[in-house]
Amino acid sequence: MTPTRLRGHQPFILMALRNGADTEQGLRKKYERLLHYMGLPVSFAGEDRGWRFHRELDENLGALVRKGFVSKEGDAYSLTAEGQELAESAYRRARESEDGWTALMHSPSVASRLSVISYVFLALLKLAAGFTFRSAALVADGLDSLIDVLSASIVLLGVRFGKELMSAAFVVAVMGLLSSLIIYEGITRLMLSAVVATPPAAFGAVIVSAGVSYALSVYQRVVGKRGGSLALISQSVDSRSHVFQAAAVLIGLVFARFGIYAVDAIVALLIALLILRAAVELAIELSHVARSTDIKGDTGADDERGFDWHRWNFFKIWTLLTIKEVSNRRDVVLRYDQTFTPDDLPHATHRSPAAGFDYRKHVDGILEELFEEGLITLIGAQLYLTDVGKGKLNASLRRRRLGFFF
């Protein structure tokens, strides 16, 4: 059975029928969902014969029936034994031939690994340059990047060993300690007027860190939105903030070039205050989570709904994020189709947070709960975030930026 015998939409049709019989309308719907996942919000729901796809689907189905790969009973099409074998072969080839660049641009797991590698590079670059050129601002910015690396590693270990809250508390403590050290160093430098070296290499280090942070921010946001990763989306916000911090560090170096060293120390103090504020906010949220965990019990499971509470909470936050950009139920569901890879689609090359969760079935329950909590409101026929909802979304993204999933 050679691959050359499959033409046009025939490989897709065979793979779409791997899990059972389907109608022509069902095949159109699966193809529509595949295109939504690829970022093309088209519709084949109508019967307009002007659609080239409708004609080609008819022709390819007829060809597969004539070749003996597909049989038709009433309106339903199903694979023959020979067709099943060919479909499995086509599916294996589709999975094996996945392009590495496509995986790089669509896989949240790949993006997460690249993000950690980038954080390590940025932390080492900033710290090395900061200590070499005696810039408190560069050291402070480097420690901020180091926090990203530590939090991702420590929280991952906490989740693996069932100590997520404990690991989160440890990261908050580290943030508080580092911010205090930066504040102490910044005040000391202000009092002593410590000299900051400003060779071209110092400026180069800042410019490189800003460029990497900006590229990382764009990459994390694109992959995060395509793959439904709230952690990547929140990390993209943090990466963008590092671009602004780099600009502030650059300003400090410019002033130091003219002998005004106090600006570098002031920038370090500002960065320290941002880290300290984040630590305090996370500490407050951590205490709330700890209390709610005591109320719900160690498992955190919502027995009334019958599925994992974390999955439900993930889609609540994802729905809030979506309503920030679209404003009706239909578009929320369409965005789900565009973002996540349903398990039953051919060519689905990586699993998503949606695996095993029927969002269409639960979307009304999620919206109802968001209404009850005052996180969204309805104005006319449009959905909008309330101020409470915006705060809830921002708080969740801050937690997920550091790897906290509670």
Indicate where the chain has its CATH 1.20.1510 domain(s).
103-296
DSSP string, 271-319: HHHHHHHHHHHHHHHHHHHHHHHHHH-TT--BTTTTB-HHHHHHHHHHH
Amino acid, res. 22: D
Q: What is the pLDDT along the chain (406 residues), one digit of tens a residue?
A: 444 466 777 888 888 888 788 888 888 877 776 665 554 545 555 554 445 666 777 888 888 998 889 998 888 999 998 988 888 887 777 666 555 555 555 566 677 778 888 889 999 999 999 999 999 999 999 999 998 888 767 655 655 555 666 777 788 888 899 999 999 999 999 888 889 999 999 999 999 999 999 999 988 888 777 666 667 777 888 888 899 999 999 999 999 999 999 999 999 999 999 999 888 887 887 777 666 555 444 443 333 343 356 677 888 888 998 898 888 888 888 877 767 655 555 555 444 555 556 777 888 889 999 999 999 998 888 899 999 998 888 877 766 665 555 5
Could you give the dihedral angle defined by the CA atoms of residues 200, 201, 206 and 208, in that order, rounded to the nearest 10 degrees? 110
Alpha-helical runs (H) found in 193-261: 200-227, 230-257
68-117 confidence digits (pLDDT tens) = 899 988 889 999 989 888 888 877 776 665 555 555 555 666 777 788 88
Contact 178, 147 (CB under 8 A): yes
Largest CA distance in the chain: 88
Q: Write down the CATH number for the domain with range 103-296.
A: 1.20.1510
Q: Where in the chain is the domain with CATH 1.10.10.10?
A: 3-97, 309-401
- In angstroms, how far is CA 232 from the centroid of its own chain? 3
Task: Report how far apart, in Å, the C-alpha atoms of 187 and of each of 63, 97, 103, 134, 339 are.
Answer: 78, 58, 47, 15, 47
Is 406 buried (19+), middle (13-18) or exposed (0-12) by CB count in 10 A? Answer: buried
Q: Are 333 and 360 in contact (CB under 8 A)?
A: yes
- Token duo for residue 108: 């949240």
Kind and range of the H or E run holding 385: strand 382-385
Give the distance from CA 64 to its chain's centroid: 40
Torsion sign (Cα): 116, 121, 122, 124: positive
**CATH architecture of residue range(s) 3-97:** Orthogonal Bundle (1.10)
Q: Helix crossing, 309-323 with 230-257: angle to 10°?
A: 60
Residues constituting the chain: 406
Looking at residue 214, its amino acid is Y
Alpha-carbon distances of 315 from 95, 258, 344, rounded to whole Å = 28, 52, 20
pLDDT tens sequence across 296-314: 444 433 333 433 566 778 8
Measured CA to CA in angstroms, residue 197 lies from 4, 131, 209, 248, 264 at distances of 66, 10, 18, 16, 11
Strand partners, 377: 384
CATH code linked to domain 309-401: 1.10.10.10
